[in-house]
Structure 1
Amino acid sequence: MALKIWMNAGLVDEADAKVSVFDHGLLYGDGVFEGIRVYDGRVFELAAHIKRLFDSAHVIRLPLAMNRQELGEAVETTVKANGIRDGYVRLIVTRGTGTLGLNPLICKNGNVIIIADTIQLYPEELYEKGMRIVSATTRRTHPLAFPSQVKSLNYLNNIMAKIEALDSGVPEAIMYNHEGFVAEATGDNVFIVRDGVVLTPPVEAGGLAGITRGIVIRLARERGIQVVEKNLTRYDLYVCDELFLTGTAAEVIGIVEIDGRHIGEGRPGPITRLLREAFDNYARGRGQ
């Protein structure tokens, strides 16, 4: 069955969901987006995602035609119209139609697009046995070039690192910043465990302020696990006891090898497994 897509003022058939070839979202990646999960028919952390979208739009001076409540209602409407029980929402705001020049201030009719569909997660086997990853040579964009906290439509920095991962036969890669510190993976935040302490790079190192990241930090602390935000190096990843990634699509997934070096005992460790279970319970409303 064809999807129903939200386009600006309401739902349209998938075949009718179109934007102009002169939209600066297409021409220049000028826009912002959010990826949001749906669990058991409930849109997960919707308010937090919409806040981050508005923050991103504010930073790039992108006006939105809808307020936060209207946007939230549009997301809910789109999810229900497509009968999504467990799935994924892509919420997109583009700059709108302009010219072939860069000037964004002449763009008109910015688009609000909402897609609700099922999602292809990593195979269950990877959650049980753990994932192999590599370090990317592609450096995270310098924070003075563009702030990593903005979730923009221009994802080429991450895509180039993703290509490195795929060329190496693995699904993910770690990206480092201009100082050599861990920033993030191509689509996920990074955590390690050393001597029972959970460590994760600060957002200032070049990673996105992930919604899942924040929840996992809170869930860990509620369970008496110390969490410290600090700069991490490649060495730290090589010698840690556990390594895991968090993200909207990935949720919590353990890493068992990086750059040919085994992590811990070669399988997801106890804290990784505990936090994966805790997050799953929280996301599906099963309490703490």
Structure 2
Amino acid sequence: MKVFLDGQLVDQADAKISVFDHGLLYGDGIFEGIRIYDGNVFRLEEHLERFEYSAKAILLKMPWSRQEISDAVCDTCRANGLKDGYIRLVATRGVGDLGLSPWLCPKPSLFVIADKIKLYPQEHYEKGLAIVTVPTRRMNPAALSPAIKSLNYLNNIMAKMEAQQFGALEAIMLNDQGLVAECTGDNVFVVHKGKIFTPSAQQGALKGITRDAIFDLAAKLGLPMEEHELTRYDIWNADECFLTGTGAEVIPVVKLDGREIGNGTPGPIFKQVLEAFHQLVREDGTKL
């Protein structure tokens, strides 16, 4: 496998960064997870825009133009013959000393990995996930905005470990007010009486690219949808629930905290959205 690293395509075994890189030492950097479907890099421009926003938010001055980063993403896919899969785009603060100071890192680093990914077994896409609510709370947006795709994902990782301890593959994370924020790596949607609801960024939800696609699809399908405060009670008593994310794509949830959602099977609105999503991902993006 070839990896793009600081301007060059190198073999996987040679794709190395310094132990003094602040991306490694402090999680000081940003990333994007991007999907490619049948040679179409899904919503690449939107991902690159969010990448730039994350960089600006953490005062990471990137020396690469958007076109250069876009070319790096597409070139990495071509070099690996990847037509369907997952792309990880990363910018680190770069090499510095052992102190926190980012201004002692004169040159950021950029790398791109293009490979396959499978977050959940296929059976769960067909029958649905059983998930849990975990004790670890979503970090307060006043401390670190969920809009920043930071390399430091420890908050989410701790919640993921708790989910596994409870025998689940995914978990609901609440914010410090006890409202639903998101899952450990996915946005969450519920359907109640024909209307779709999802938490807002103010509740701690990432402004996901797939999440935005669901808003667009709902409008095209004539499905009413809005951002709204949600509690666990709202999910327990929803007619349907599903999760979205670049890695997860769109996956149904049929049980939360031991309580069946709806009739315990993927619902009709989920299936309608899923079918429209499968069509969209091959049309909306950047062709290789």
State the TM-score, normalizing by the size of structure 2: 0.97
Residue number among 206, 212, 215 corresponding to 1:214 in the alignment:
212
The Cα of 1:144 is off from its aligned counterpart by 1.3
Amino acid aligned to 2:267: G
How many pairs align? 284
The answer for unaligned runs of 5 or more in structure 1 is: none
Tell me which residue corresponds to 1:228.
226
Moved over 4 A (4+): none
Tell me which residue corresponds to 2:197.
199
Q: Secondary structure at the match of 1:266?
A: coil
Instruction: Give yes or no for the alignment of 1:57 onto 2:83.
Output: no
The Cα of 1:121 is off from its aligned counterpart by 4.0
The Cα of 1:196 is off from its aligned counterpart by 0.3
Q: Which is further off, 263-272 or 7-16?
A: 7-16
Q: Secondary structure at the match of 2:53?
A: helix
Q: How does 1:73-222 map to 2 (within 5 A)?
A: 73-222=71-220
Tell me which residue corresponds to 2:30.
32
For residues 202 and 216 of structure 2, the distance between their equivalents in structure 1, rounded to whole angstroms, comes to: 19
Amino acid aligned to 2:75: T
Amino acid aligned to 1:277: E
Tell me which residue corresponds to 1:45.
43
- 2:31 touches 2:151 (CA, 8 Å); kept in 1? yes
For residues 42 and 228 of structure 1, the distance between their equivalents in structure 2, rounded to whole angstroms, comes to: 29
- 1:201 touches 1:229 (CA, 8 Å); kept in 2? yes
Tell me which residue corresponds to 2:9.
11
- 1:251 touches 1:276 (CA, 8 Å); kept in 2? no
The Cα of 1:160 is off from its aligned counterpart by 0.4
Tell me which residue corresponds to 2:276.
278
Amino acid aligned to 2:52: F
The answer for unaligned runs of 5 or more in structure 2 is: none
The superposition leaves residues 245-267 of structure 1 with CA deviations (integer Å, 9 ceiling, x where unpaired) of 00111111110000000000110
- 2:128 touches 2:266 (CA, 8 Å); kept in 1? yes
Q: How does 1:245-260 map to 2 (within 5 A)?
A: 245-260=243-258
Q: 1:20 to 1:14 in 2, by over 3 A?
A: same
The superposition leaves residues 232-278 of structure 1 with CA deviations (integer Å, 9 ceiling, x where unpaired) of 11111111110110011111111000000000011010001111111
Q: Secondary structure at the match of 1:62?
A: coil
The superposition leaves residues 36-68 of structure 1 with CA deviations (integer Å, 9 ceiling, x where unpaired) of 001011211100000000000000000112110
Q: Secondary structure at the match of 1:32?
A: strand
Q: Secondary structure at the match of 2:140?
A: coil
- 2:179 touches 2:230 (CA, 8 Å); kept in 1? yes
The Cα of 1:285 is off from its aligned counterpart by 3.0
For residues 86 and 264 of structure 1, the distance between their equivalents in structure 2, rounded to whole angstroms, comes to: 33
Amino acid aligned to 1:75: V
Q: Secondary structure at the match of 1:164?
A: helix
State the TM-score, normalizing by the size of structure 1: 0.97
The Cα of 1:8 is off from its aligned counterpart by 1.1
For residues 67 and 133 of structure 2, the distance between their equivalents in structure 1, rounded to whole angstroms, comes to: 41
- 2:22 touches 2:94 (CA, 8 Å); kept in 1? yes
The superposition leaves residues 117-154 of structure 1 with CA deviations (integer Å, 9 ceiling, x where unpaired) of 11124222111111000001100111111111000000
Amino acid aligned to 2:269: I
- 2:3 touches 2:9 (CA, 8 Å); kept in 1? yes
The Cα of 1:217 is off from its aligned counterpart by 1.2
The Cα of 1:284 is off from its aligned counterpart by 2.2
CA RMSD of aligned residues (A): 1.0
For residues 109 and 263 of structure 1, the distance between their equivalents in structure 2, rounded to whole angstroms, comes to: 50
- 1:31 touches 1:92 (CA, 8 Å); kept in 2? yes
Q: Secondary structure at the match of 1:12?
A: strand
For residues 167 and 231 of structure 1, the distance between their equivalents in structure 2, rounded to whole angstroms, comes to: 27
Amino acid aligned to 1:52: R
Tell me which residue corresponds to 2:241.
243
For residues 31 and 222 of structure 2, the distance between their equivalents in structure 1, rounded to whole angstroms, comes to: 34
Q: Secondary structure at the match of 1:78?
A: helix
Q: Secondary structure at the match of 1:140?
A: coil
